[in-house]
């Protein structure tokens, strides 16, 4: 059997951040090699076909595992992913492939793919028209306006039909987000589910319990992780939702509503901390074993 300690596998992530470092730890423990890549410091030399990070040409590695591409999502994040396609073309295995991640960074792209595969989601309107946005608010009663590029509910805003200032609120949001992504605010009973998949296989689920004083359940807003045991119908829905994206590691965010479960999104990177604190899954170790197995496959 080939010795895994000959493999050179880098982690693209945020140096010093927990999920990035635990993945680098797990890879180092199995291979003896450690390299955390901050994409902000990567240079592409197309003439030389070199993708340089410090003194390492990433095109000469065996594998690259993408844990995080930037601290916050933006169109610039897509540029960083494009650089990784050069490494792929040079024969480096990237987990998950850059093109697959690209389809999830943009909330619109993710939503269109889910809709095209008949995945139930909250009622959603996408428009650049402030008049159509106002009509959506009136129809929904309460609407969540979401930036196309964001994580942990950052930049999201609730606008209510009963608000006297709703037209100005829409105009302010539109000034920063010309393509407005608008979803009906649902009664979610204060929690949603993170359902974990590795190579398309279901590993388990954790819940995010809301803090009570926030409309969303994100940890950023004071939510807490807890174990969860969804029924077979919800597990099947999550499997259908993640399948079109062909991710090596991901989580599917699902909420249970009065009319049945709905999918909010499929994650570009997956939740290591939720898996660890919510259900005791060491996602970093499992992912590392999976990557090594693929490289030997």
107 and 75 in contact (C-beta within 8 Å)? no
13 plus 36 within the same structural domain: yes
pLDDT of residue 1: 43
pLDDT per residue as tens digits for the range 170-183: 999 999 999 999 99
CATH number at residue 159: 3.30.1490.20
250 plus 116 within the same structural domain: yes
Q: What is the mean pLDDT of the chain?
A: 92
Q: Is the pLDDT of residue 217 over 90?
A: no
Residue 15 is part of which domain span? 4-96+285-296
pLDDT, mean of residues 54-64: 97
109 plus 254 within the same structural domain: yes
pLDDT per residue as tens digits for the range 189-216: 778 999 999 999 999 999 988 665 544 5
pLDDT per residue as tens digits for the range 94-149: 999 999 999 999 899 999 999 999 999 999 999 999 999 999 999 999 999 999 99
65 plus 202 within the same structural domain: no
Q: Is the pLDDT of residue 152 over 80?
A: no
137 plus 14 within the same structural domain: no
CATH number at residue 48: 3.40.50.20
Q: Would you tell me how many other CB atoms lie within 10 Å of the CB of residue 294?
A: 13
114 plus 203 within the same structural domain: yes
Q: Is the pLDDT of residue 244 over 60?
A: yes
| pTM exceeding the 0.85 threshold for the entire prediction | yes
Percentage of the chain beyond pLDDT 90 is 81
70 plus 174 within the same structural domain: no
């Amino acid at each position: 059997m080939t010795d895994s300690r000959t493999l050179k596998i880098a982690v693209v992530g945020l140096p010093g951040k927990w999920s990035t470092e635990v993945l680098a730890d797990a890879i180092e423990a199995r291979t003896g090699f450690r390299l955390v890549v901050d994409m902000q410091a990567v240079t592409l030399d197309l003439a030389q076909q070199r993708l340089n990070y410090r003194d390492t040409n990433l095109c000469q590695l065996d594998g690259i595992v993408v844990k995080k591409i930037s601290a916050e999502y933006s169109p610039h994040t897509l540029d960083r992913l494009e650089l990784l396609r050069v490494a792929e073309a040079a024969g480096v295995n990237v987990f998950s492939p850059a093109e697959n991640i690209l389809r999830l960074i943009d909330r619109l792209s993710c939503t269109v793919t889910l809709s095209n595969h008949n995945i139930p989601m909250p009622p959603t309107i996408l428009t650049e028209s402030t008049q159509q946005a106002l009509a959506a608010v009136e129809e929904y009663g309460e609407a969540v306006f979401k930036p196309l590029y964001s994580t942990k509910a950052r930049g999201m805003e609730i606008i209510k039909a009963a608000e006297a200032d709703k037209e100005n609120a829409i105009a302010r949001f539109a000034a920063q987000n010309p393509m407005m992504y608008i979803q009906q605010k649902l009664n979610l009973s204060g929690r949603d589910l993170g359902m974990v998949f590795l190579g398309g296989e279901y590993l388990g689920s954790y819940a995010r319990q809301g803090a009570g004083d926030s409309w969303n359940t994100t940890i950023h807003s004071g939510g807490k992780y807890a174990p969860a045991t969804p029924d077979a119908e919800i597990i099947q829905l999550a499997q259908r939702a993640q399948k079109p994206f062909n991710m090596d590691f991901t989580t599917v965010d699902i909420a249970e509503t009065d009319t049945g479960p709905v999918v909010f999104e499929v994650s570009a990177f997956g939740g290591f901390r939720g898996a660890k604190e919510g259900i005791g899954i060491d996602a970093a170790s499992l992912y590392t074993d999976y990557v090594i197995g693929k490289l030997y496959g």
